[in-house]
Amino acid sequence: MTVDATAGRIGRLSGRETLDGTERAALADRTLRRAAIAAMVANLCGAIDVFLLLWFVLPEPAGHVEHVENIVAAGVFIPVSFVVGWLWGERLIRPAVCWLREDREPTARERDGTLRLPVVCAAVDGTLWVTAAVLFGLLNADVSADMALHVSSTILMGGITTVAVAYLLNERIQRSVTARALSAAPPTQPRGPGVKGRLLIAWTTATGVPLAGLLMVGCQALLEDTVSRDEVVRSVVVLGAGALLIGLLATALVAKSVADPLSDMRRALRRIEEGDLDARVRVDDGSEVGLVQSGFNRMAAGLNEREQIRELFGRHVGEDVARAALDGGTKLGGEVREVAALFVDLVGSTRLAAERPPQDVVALLNRFFAIVVDVVGRHGGWVNKFEGDAALVVFGAPVSDDACASSALASARELDARLRRELPELCAGIGVSAGAALAGNVGAEHRLEYTVIGDPVNEAARLCDLAKRRPERVVASASILQRARGAESARWAPDGEIVLRGRTAPTRLAIPT
């Protein structure tokens, strides 16, 4: 299956639009632009952290000098690092999404590269911030070691914020590309930080960096008498405000990365509960969240396949038999129960097959059996088997029915009327009987059939042969009238007795009035 077909199916099922080749190329360009915007937002968050820590939060160590050199160095380093980061990031991202531009399936290497894009983007930003921490630490080393440590540790804390925000933003904005990369091959192993890792990233941004700043302020206040109460209060307020804003952003991104897939699965589950077994979710995450999405789709596909098998199985053996087999297994043997049997057989089928083409005969038989299935189904009967141009119908098995005798008699009368009216070119005999029979699975362990064996079945078949030679075309055993309920028995009248073929005792007959 191609990426277009798979993505199209997932897009339709999840309510998302399928993209053609031109739109995929546009998606690749849009991903590059959004990655650049994410990098700027993440670096801005880190820069705000550094600005607040240096000027408003962390008291400067002894030996403070003017920051002219730092400001000049920052004025040079920031635009250079921006250009380097842009070129470096584009060089890493562009090959990972080239399959989108070329409108084809990604290779395994390209798919892995696409899944690593958020980590790669965060790594680029992290490398640049580590470089800045080293350079500015060296630049301030001639003032004092404390000043170098002060500046470099502050820059590193800003870098931590930048890396965390960069990863969370890129993971979010690159989900459309991730979904198309995974459409042909869902993940089998987690890729990248999962829910636990993202929560740790959010904690680092919202709590870790502010707490580290508070610890530095506390330690400096304990070790140096120059730190005033106002400076400590200002540090706490600024750190709290920064943690509130940046932490809110990070936490919201992590929450959406988990909540959105769960919402999609909840909607898909509701569709499955309503009977739509084609419901699927878009796999747009390479972590364990993606494994859950992929597992949900496999589960839904399995349910769909199971339902198709059950439906096909039910068409072959009857829905009640299929349901009983799925619920209780298929052990050999059965149980004796009260059943009613109806046997219907066409008259002159041999002549019919000789005079008509095979396809016409089959079409005529299908019309005949359609009437049989419709009539007996509405009366609670089950077609046990089709035998050429005949059918054996059972009432009272596999589902017990105390009114099976009445249902069988009513079916026989209605079936005769329907056949005479809708298929006048055919003539069929109908025999009905009732009594105790064994209902269950017969055959071998690996090939079996659910059927009903007993005297009622044999008697119904013999009565059907008799009915084919009589004008009424419907003959029942008079004993079934004693088992019938309601007014059904009043619609039949006794009609003598006869010794049926293969039997020794006479059978009392009844025909519809």
Tens-digit pLDDT profile for residues 95-152: 777 787 777 888 888 888 888 888 888 888 899 999 998 998 888 887 777 778 778 8
Question: Quick one: pLDDT at residue 428?
Answer: 93
User: What's the whole-number mean pLDDT along residues 395-405?
Assistant: 85
Give the residue from 296, 295, 327 showing the smallest Cα distance to 310: 327
Distance CA 326, CA 392 (A): 23
pTM over 0.85: no
Structure tokens at 159: 């870098």
Question: Quick one: pLDDT at residue 446?
Answer: 61
With tokens 């206040």, the residue in question is 221
Tens-digit pLDDT profile for residues 222-271: 766 665 677 667 677 777 777 777 778 778 878 888 888 888 888 988 98
Lowest mean pLDDT among 80-84, 341-345, 408-412: 80-84
Give the residue from 483, 479, 487, 473 showing the smallest Cα distance to 507: 479
508 pLDDT tier (thresholds 50, 70, 90): very high
Distance CA 144, CA 64 (A): 9
Element (H, E) at 319: helix 319-328
10 pLDDT tier (thresholds 50, 70, 90): very low
Question: Quick one: pLDDT at residue 318?
Answer: 53
CATH superfamily for 329-512 is: Nucleotide cyclase, GGDEF domain (3.30.70.1230)
Q: Is the pLDDT of residue 280 over 90?
A: no
What does the angle CA 280 – CA 283 – CA 287 come to, to the nearest 5 degrees? 140
**Cα 164 to Cα 69, 121, 169, 287, distances in angstroms:** 29, 11, 9, 17
Q: Is the pLDDT of residue 276 over 60?
A: yes
The Cα diameter of the chain in Å comes to: 127
Residue bearing the bigger pLDDT, 54 or 262: 262
- Contact between 461 and 431 (Cβ < 8 Å): yes
b/e per residue, 462-499, with b = 16+ CB within 10 A?
bbbebbbeeeebbbbbbbbbebbeeebbeebeebeeee
For the chain, the structural domain boundaries read 3-183+190-259, 329-512
> Quick one: CA torsion of 161, 163, 167, 168, rounded to 10 degrees?
0
- Contact between 291 and 190 (Cβ < 8 Å): yes
DSSP string covering 241-260? HHHHHHHHHHHHHHHHHHHH
Question: Quick one: pLDDT at residue 15?
Answer: 37
Distance CA 280, CA 438 (A): 45
